[in-house]
Amino acid sequence: MTYKAEYIWLDGTRPTAKLRSKTKILATGSEPPVWGFDGSSTNQAEGHASDRVLQPVASYPDPIRGGDDVLVLCEVFHTDNTPHESNTRAALREVAERHAAQEPLFGIEQEYTFFKGSRPLGFPDGGFPAPQGGYYCGVGTDEISGRPTVEKHLENCLAAGLAISGINAEVMPGQWEFQVGPLGPLDVADQLWVARWLLYRTAEDFGLSATLDPKPAKGDWNGAGAHTNFSTRKMRESYDAVIEAAEALGRDGKPLEHITNYGIGVEARLTGAHETAPWDKYSYGVSDRGASVRIPWQVEVEQKGYIEDRRPNANVDPYVVTRLIVDTCATALEKAGLA
């Protein structure tokens, strides 16, 4: 007896990595082993020494093939067992372990846009739909495009055991969002990548493509982000810790360090319009969706909770954004005696 293991990894494409996958047939009862691939075809090696190593790090039931088949998320290593330069998960592992005592949690809101051919789904050929306003959380064929694909993607994510906490239609036609978390840094990033793979794979069956482009339609249309919600144990107990985390993200050159690693094309999305703050000006505020970082109103009322970093693009690498936020905020909380 055998089962199928779909090995999934991030390639070396820059500035934004692509997902790759291939199938291995394994004997029932055996664990997915270390495997290899041709790195010269994924921007991860030169042709004269192209072997690269896939190290399984997480496994999930395969909701598309079903049965005993699995999805196997992998890190990429060199043959000398050192992490490949494209392996952003390895850097997060070290930071997550260093700050584990603070019990950081994340929830990431992944926006994306469906395309049919060269146009966003819901955009008529040779023209434009009605201005945005009624599409957000809308209902009806005059407002909504792509719901069958969205519902199937949700079913697939839940069947894979992912911690999907919600979905909704977004502000632009053909634009949707799903949320992953709350989970620790490694788990939320792992599951977001697998949910992205399932999004692309599910959309194949409906003849659609899904893009994480942060500004998929130019002009007076909302961009696509990956708003990142964050807390530590102390933040979930103390409003002082919430404020310190929000302040820390604005100190000591951190705004530029973060924004330059929050996804390519961030300047096109963070303009100060369409519920964004300007990319080059850091701010935070209660219930303020025009700020870089929002403190939800109920957090102020309850004097404890979390913050929402609204700057990350839809195409951000979750291994990078969680590493930066944990390192910046947890380090500041330690120094302030709020760890």
Is-above-0.85 flag for pTM? yes
Residue count (the chain) = 339
Look at residue 274 and tell me whether its pLDDT is greater than 80.
no
The pLDDT, as a whole number, for residue 128 is 86
What is the distance between the alpha carbons of residues 69 and 63, in angstroms, rounded to a whole number?
8
Tokens found for residue 302: 């309850």
Whether the CB-CB separation of 86 and 44 falls below 8 Å is answered with: yes
Q: What angle do CA 328, 330, 334 make, to 5 degrees?
A: 120
Judged by average pLDDT, the poorest of 214-223, 242-251, 324-333 is 214-223
Pairing of the two strands 70-77 and 51-61: antiparallel
Which domains does the chain show, CATH number per domain? 2-86 (3.10.20.70), 95-336 (3.30.590.10)
Nearest one of 205, 122, 130, 198 to 158, comparing CA atoms: 198
Look at residue 180 and tell me whether its pLDDT is greater than 80.
yes
Q: Which helix (H) or strand (E) holds 298?
A: helix 297-302
| Residue 299: count of CB within 10 angstroms of its CB | 21
Q: What is the mean pLDDT of the chain?
A: 96
Query: How far, CA to CA in Å, does 147 sit from each of 75, 130, 198, 226, 297?
Result: 33, 19, 15, 20, 30
Residue where the block lists tokens 């000591």: 252
| Residue 44: count of CB within 10 angstroms of its CB | 24
Whether the CB-CB separation of 6 and 31 falls below 8 Å is answered with: no
Whether the CB-CB separation of 1 and 28 falls below 8 Å is answered with: yes
**Maximum Cα interatomic distance, the chain, rounded to a whole number of Å:** 61
Q: What is the rounded average pLDDT of the residues 241-256?
A: 97
The pLDDT, as a whole number, for residue 157 is 98
The pLDDT, as a whole number, for residue 129 is 87
Pairing of the two strands 19-27 and 2-10: antiparallel
Look at residue 163 and tell me whether its pLDDT is greater than 90.
yes
Residues 6+ positions from 272 with CB-CB distance below 8 Å: 278, 290
Nearest one of 242, 238, 241, 221 to 308, comparing CA atoms: 242
For 155, list phi and psi in degrees, rounded to 5. -60, -45
